């Protein structure tokens, strides 16, 4: 996908289709539609880099990253849904290796647990696994599909 981590420049591209989007704030009351792919975005995230101890991988994004709120946990201040949104948009870690839906959900789980949300960690891990996943889900639920392995040149 060619995403670089946090370059310090505001993210003005649609995470789904790469089309340029106006730099303005979105909120649930004032969402913004990408005219390239039709995706709706409700939030702009602040730049962050997160390292998963479980998987030994980084995921990061720049200021203003458009987020659609698909994880459904946005009323809680947490890094978990932000990381999950980005992982599902890309289906990749920063090093351009693919991840599965399970890995996206477990990463969300790890962050929630670290933040002290023991019950939500379990509930949202399951909810995102069953109903979410985006491109991570396309790569495979628990294991990479043969198609995903081929796409990434893995055997």
* Interacting residue ranges for Zn ion, rule: CB under 5 A: 14, 16-17, 19, 34, 36-37, 39
First to last CA, the chain: 20
Nearest distance, CB of residue 6 and Zn ion, angstroms? 21
Residue 18 C-beta: closest distance to Zn ion, Å: 7
Report, in Å, the least distance between residue 39 CB and Zn ion.
5
Give 37 or 154: the residue with its C-beta nearer to Zn ion: 37
Which CB, 39 or 144, lies closer to Zn ion? 39
Phi, psi of 152 (to 5 degrees): -95, 5
Sign, Cα dihedral of 47, 110, 135, 82: negative
Burial 34-55 (b: 16+ CB within 10 A, else e): beeeebebbbbbebbebebeee
Q: Between 91 and 140, whose beta carbon lies closer to Zn ion?
A: 91
């Amino acid at each position: 996908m060619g995403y670089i981590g946090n370059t310090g420049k505001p993210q003005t591209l649609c995470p789904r289709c790469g089309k340029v989007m106006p730099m303005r704030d979105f909120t649930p009351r004032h969402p913004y539609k990408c005219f390239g792919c039709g995706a709706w975005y409700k939030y702009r995230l602040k730049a962050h880099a997160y390292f998963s101890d479980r998987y030994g991988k980084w995921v990061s994004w720049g200021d203003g990253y458009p987020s659609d709120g698909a994880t459904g946990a946005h009323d809680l201040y947490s890094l978990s849904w932000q990381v999950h949104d980005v992982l599902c948009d890309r289906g990749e870690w920063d090093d351009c290796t693919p991840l599965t839906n399970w890995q996206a959900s477990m990463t969300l789980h790890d962050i929630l647990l670290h933040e002290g949300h023991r019950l939500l960690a379990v509930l949202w891990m399951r909810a995102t696994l069953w109903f979410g996943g985006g491109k991570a889900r396309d790569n495979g639920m628990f294991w990479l599909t043969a198609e995903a392995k081929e796409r990434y040149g893995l055997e």
